[in-house]
Amino acid sequence: MERIILDVDTGLDDAVALFLAAGLQEFTIEAVIATAGNVGLEKTLENTLNILETAGIRCPVYKGADKPLVRKPVQAGDFHGKSGLDGPVFAPRKFQRAQEEDGIDALIRLVKAMPHQISIVSVGPLTDLALAFRKDPAVALLCKQIVVMGGSFSQGNVTEHAEFNTFADPEAASLVFSSGAKLVLFPLDCTRRVTLSPARLADFQRRKGRSTAVFCSCMESYTANYTKRGQGQPQMHDPLCVAYLVDPSKVETEYCRVEVDTNPGQTYGKTTKTSTNSDGGVLVAKNIDIPWFWTLVDRSLANLP
């Protein structure tokens, strides 16, 4: 059983990551932290609470950072919709609400209470982790591992050079990548390989269950946004980080030193990698077993209400 903390800026593919973690017996969700990213914090928090309530998951949910460390906030509401999760309609919640404790403090507390036992899945800007490591540098080395969706070593998706999560807080990403924590990185170079086909979405649409219905509504919006922009089939970025923790052998990786450009200019937020051994390196995902990934999505949704 893998103990995990999910750090999310819940938009359309974050929702799939949450459903995946909620529906697989391999995980115990110790906490979920919502951070500003795809949209502002109040909206990402609301979206996170709604997805977890839909999945019937009773775990503590916390507020993370409401802005980047240094830069002015940027958002991706034009892609995920005004709410950050356009598509599904949620009934009033009955049990899920945000905790009073600050999410950064909660992350520090939980990791220190269970040293080397908690894996963190971070699929938004890395602001929360950076703030936690600044506040208590020991925490970086007490995490079992941290699996991050971010960066690109080819073409960006928000600028020519930069991927959104890294661009949204380059200073935080730089701090985390150099923290000494055991890091696994899923860049666009890997996540762009995994897409949702119309046939697969149609298959999900024939299934029953409220979680599956919300999943489909999210993916219909996601598909429409990709189609509108002429970008092909929707890419499953964030859920790959959850899948990795089920069976790392299904992912092809390489050790690299990863650096983030924090200088203002055209390459702000750009990530670069240089090969290294495991000492001080980041384990960078290159490829994943795609049919296996979809079996996990099938299984998780079948397990959810």
Please tell me the class of the 2-181+197-303 domain: alpha beta
Average pLDDT (189-201) is 97
Query: SS3 of 150, please?
Result: coil
Torsion of CA 43, 44, 50, 56, to 10 degrees: -160
Backbone angles phi, psi at 144, to 5 degrees: -60, -50
At residue 77, does pLDDT exceed 70? no
Give the helix, strand, coil percentages of the chain, each rounded to 5: 40, 20, 40
What's the first-to-final CA gap in the chain, in angstroms? 21
Average pLDDT (48-65) is 98
Catalytic residues: 9
At residue 192, does pLDDT exceed 70? yes
Distance CA 238, CA 216 (A): 16
At residue 78, does pLDDT exceed 70? no
Average pLDDT (15-26) is 98
Burial code of 198-236, b = ≥16 C-beta within 10 A, e = fewer?
eeebeebeeeeebbbbbbbbbbbbbbebbeeeeeebbbb
| pLDDT band (50, 70, 90) for residue 79 | low
Question: Rounded to the nearest 5 degrees, what angle is found at the Cα of 174, between the Cα atoms of 181 and 168?
Answer: 120
Average pLDDT (257-284) is 91
Question: Rounded to the nearest 5 degrees, what angle is found at the Cα of 60, between the Cα atoms of 147 and 163?
Answer: 30
Query: What is the model's pLDDT at position 35?
Result: 97
| pLDDT band (50, 70, 90) for residue 202 | very high
Report DSSP letters for 3-56, one per residue. Answer: EEEEEE--SHHHHHHHHHHHH-TTEEEEEEEE-SSSS-HHHHHHHHHHHHHHTT
Token pair listed for 100: 């009073």
Query: What is the model's pLDDT at position 38?
Result: 85
Query: What is the model's pLDDT at position 259?
Result: 96
Query: What is the model's pLDDT at position 281?
Result: 85
pTM, full prediction: 0.96
CA 158 vs CA 52, 81, 164: distances in Å: 28, 16, 5
Query: What is the model's pLDDT at position 233?
Result: 95
Query: SS3 of 282, please?
Result: strand
Query: SS3 of 146, please?
Result: strand
Amino acid at 274: T
What is the residue-averaged pLDDT of the chain?
Answer: 95
Report DSSP letters for 65-101, one per residue. Answer: -SS-SSSPP---HHHH-TTSS-S---PPPSS--B-SS
pLDDT in tens, 143-178: 999 999 999 999 899 999 999 999 999 999 999 999
| pLDDT band (50, 70, 90) for residue 53 | very high
